[in-house]
Amino acid sequence: MNLFAALFSHYRRHPLQLAALALMILVATTLWSGVRQLTEQARTSLSQSEQVIAGRQQVVRVDGARLTVSDFVTLRRVGLCVMPWLEVPRQGNVGLVIGVDPLAAACFGGEGGTFGNSQIRLEGEPFVDVSEAARLAEELPDAEPPPSLALIAAGNVTADALPAGYRLADFSRGPDTGELGESFLLNLDALGILALLITALLLRSVYRLGIVQRRDSFALLHRFGVPPAQVDRRLVVELLVLSVLCVLPGLWLGSLLAGLLGQGFGRSLEGLFDAPLYEAPGQWLAPAFTMMAVVLLACLADFLMPGGHRVVARRGKGKLAGGFLLVGLVLALLSPSLLWVFVAVAIVFTGAGLLTPALINRLAERAAGASADPLSRWRYRELAVMARQLALPVVALQFTLAMVLAIQALVTTFEDTFDRWLGQRLEAELYVAVPEGRSGEAAARWLASQPELQTSGAWHRVIRGRGSVSVSGSPPTPVDLFGLSPVSSLVTNWDLLAADDDPWATLTRGEAVLVNEQLARRLELGVGDRIAVEVAGEQLNLPIAGVYADYGRPAGEILISGTLLPEQFQPVFESFSITPGALPLAELIRGLEAAWQVSDITVRDNEEIRSLATGVFDQTFLLTRAMTVLTLALAALALLIMGWVFFTGRNWYFRLLAAWGLSRREVAAQLTRLSVGLTGSVALLALPLGIWLTWVLVHRINPLAFGWSLPMAVYPGFWVELIGLSLLIGLGIALLMGRQLRAGAALPVSASSLTGGER
């Protein structure tokens, strides 16, 4: 038998340990690589979206009418280099298709399908030929948002060269998200790293257990003349081979996971940041080396740390944990950036990980000293031994429970808040978009003349366009501008984050504006601050009457009275929100068709829009839910395995309880109380960490990553569920141990496999 076979014989005797190690490496690689692939693809997409349009200008009509193919033909025939850019929502609103003409792009200086100097290839998702996009647009006449055609001008196109009726304007797909897109992706990166850290702790715990069990084998090999250094090298090779065999399939599964979640993730990316998810080639070399390095460092850390350092670390754990907690808490409270908040979370988790086993040990020792019952004293002292021996899986379970608790609170709070917010925004029963080429003035006059709407219904007109805002001479900030006319009861029940005494009355009189939370945070605005709003070349100096929550895109928005909009203002989009009351729907449709002089209009039920929006935002947290559930399952499995192995190793010791006069059922009951006590203690200690992490997510990370805040909420019912899950894990350990008690007696473990305090 060679040395490798001798070392591997341990796993032939303990196949469950090998399966646990392989499963943890495989699942961790799948989770981390899948999330990494999505975030890297999204990060590339955000960057490419900026590169494609950076410094670009578009040709627009002077009369504000929408562009058509005939405009493109006119401009090309006079020798101007322009390229069509047609954005069309996909069927079911699951993303955007961008129609381009690669032949027209050739005059921009690009080669091989690239767009000018940006080196962005106009092929693959989300790009299609413009003719295909036009066909999709015809199949979706009622798409929301409607298809949008832009004509991008090359750099050599000047205003003087344009035919009459056209002008140049800056080209932008959406608002400048600043650092919000990167913060959103950093949020996902941090969650993936946290899951990776928890898995590393679990790997280390299972691997260390195997090393402890192999000490006798190592000692025997040493007596046969095998140098310790040679054994260590073989262990590194053994672990490296296991890593390769598990990491490579994990990367493949991760790419499948990214593919399954890519559609929903891309929808979230477009909804949150107006950036499509571009196709990108998958990379496997860097993730493979990263995962193998994590596995080697987690399992072989003891070989890298000198023995003296380990002694010092054990003796100073209490003070070190307290220092970590203090520094992390202060840093989380005062951190100015998202990255430092994540550093603070890592520091606090490190302190909690050092403190938890010691705290369980200390509490168990005190309870043992205060108890008069011999069995209780035995159980508490055995609990202290378990806390020391199972420190790593215990800490990993605590981290996972805290993460699951915080993510659940964040998701539930967001869903409740978003549902309430969406209900207020879609208070009206019906939504009607103004047909292309028509104005909302005639329809507004007709609606105002209907007595049924005045007595039992409500309506308002929304005129959407672009403007800019500046504060105290600062550079203007582009914003989405929404003109309301009239300001109806459909909007006056909005929950405002901050407001003066009567914000809607001042808005109606045209004496103030309302701004969304994103703009208020970005420009540090508050109620009463005056801002200069530039609309169609005119400037309005108005105070802020209120700040409203906005859980849509991160664009800056202002609400303004429609009466303040100048005549030359060209709206991008107009719509009506209507609750008809006693006015029959058929009469409403006939009246609007007559006002617009069209034969057919589309009236949409706002409940359909609400369901669609809710489905889109559900995708935002799909990744986090999947990661937390799988990580919790891994932590539970690891603690189950470790607890079972620990109990099995002390089976002979537990059988002494029967020698002291306890029946087999009474022994099983003591072991059940012991295992349930351990997992229950972990769950209780995870609660404060989870509540603190919830606060960090809601009040620190969420505003920095998404640009909006959420109310802090806790859900004790879910705490009970997590505690119940932890108790079930303890019952599972006890059930497995009960099978061991019914089997033949196990031999005592050798003294070399336990430290002196546990013999």
Cα 599 to Cα 547: distance, rounded to the nearest angstrom:
40
Four-residue CA torsion sign, 637, 643, 649, 652: negative
pLDDT at position 352 is: 92
Closest C-alpha among 196, 143, 156, 202 to residue 34: 196
Tell me the two tokens of residue 463: 């005129």
What is the length of the chain? 759
For the chain, which residues make up each domain, given as ranges? 56-170, 425-613
Asked if 102 contacts 113 with a C-beta cutoff of 8 angstroms, the reply is: yes
Taking 90 as the threshold, does the pLDDT of residue 312 lie above it? no
Cα 51 to Cα 132: distance, rounded to the nearest angstrom:
24
pLDDT at position 598 is: 82
513-559 confidence digits (pLDDT tens) = 999 998 998 888 999 999 999 888 888 999 999 999 887 666 789 99
pLDDT band at 137 (very low <50, low <70, confident <90, very high): confident
Alpha-carbon dihedral 100, 106, 108, 114, rounded to 10 degrees? 70
Residue 707 zone, left/alpha/beta (φ > 0; ψ -120 to 50; rest): left
Beta strands 96-100 and 127-129 are: parallel
pLDDT at position 175 is: 41
Beta strands 538-548 and 513-516 are: parallel
Closest C-alpha among 530, 498, 545, 733 to residue 639: 733
145 prior amide bond cis, ω within 30: yes
Mean pLDDT of 100-106: 73
Taking 90 as the threshold, does the pLDDT of residue 483 lie above it? yes
Closest C-alpha among 495, 488, 465, 473 to residue 564: 465
Q: In whole angstroms, how far apart are CA 326 and each of 241, 344, 396, 601?
A: 41, 10, 21, 63
381-389: long-range pairs with CB below 8 Å, 24+: 382/674, 383/674, 383/677, 383/678, 383/681, 384/360, 385/757, 385/758, 386/643, 386/646, 386/674, 386/678, 387/357, 387/360, 387/361, 387/678, 387/681, 388/357, 388/361, 388/757, 388/758, 389/646, 389/758
**What is residue 700's DSSP assignment?**
I
What is the average pLDDT score of the chain? 78
Tell me the two tokens of residue 317: 């754990």
Closest C-alpha among 379, 360, 376, 371 to residue 675: 379
Most confident range, picked from 50-54, 474-478, 557-561, 566-570: 557-561
Q: Hey, how many other C-beta atoms are within 10 angstroms of the C-beta on 38? A: 24
- In degrees, to the nearest 5, what angle opens at C-alpha 574 toward C-alphas 570 and 579? 155
Mean pLDDT of 411-428: 83
- In degrees, to the nearest 5, what angle opens at C-alpha 709 toward C-alphas 186 and 96? 60
More confident residue, 402 or 41: 402
Cα 460 to Cα 579: distance, rounded to the nearest angstrom:
9
pLDDT band at 510 (very low <50, low <70, confident <90, very high): very high
More confident residue, 298 or 590: 590
Taking 80 as the threshold, does the pLDDT of residue 461 lie above it? yes
pLDDT at position 109 is: 62
Kindly calculate the radius of gyration of the chain based on its CA atoms and give it in whole angstroms. Answer: 32
pLDDT at position 119 is: 45
233-245 confidence digits (pLDDT tens) = 888 888 888 889 9
Cα 144 to Cα 85: distance, rounded to the nearest angstrom:
18
76-91 confidence digits (pLDDT tens) = 888 888 888 887 776 6
pLDDT at position 316 is: 61
Residue 736 burial by CB count (10 A; 0-12/13-18/19+): exposed, middle or buried?
middle
Cα 341 to Cα 640: distance, rounded to the nearest angstrom:
33
pLDDT at position 482 is: 93
pLDDT at position 756 is: 38
Angle at which helix 285-299 crosses helix 228-273, to 10 degrees, equals 130
Cα 485 to Cα 464: distance, rounded to the nearest angstrom:
11
Taking 90 as the threshold, does the pLDDT of residue 326 lie above it? yes
- In degrees, to the nearest 5, what angle opens at C-alpha 655 toward C-alphas 679 and 360? 25
pLDDT at position 131 is: 77
46-66 confidence digits (pLDDT tens) = 555 555 555 577 888 776 567
Alpha-carbon dihedral 235, 239, 241, 244, rounded to 10 degrees? -160
pLDDT band at 188 (very low <50, low <70, confident <90, very high): low
More confident residue, 38 or 667: 667
257-266 confidence digits (pLDDT tens) = 777 766 555 5
Closest C-alpha among 11, 13, 757 to residue 386: 757
The fraction of the chain above a pLDDT of 90, given in percent, is 12
Tell me the two tokens of residue 93: 């609103």
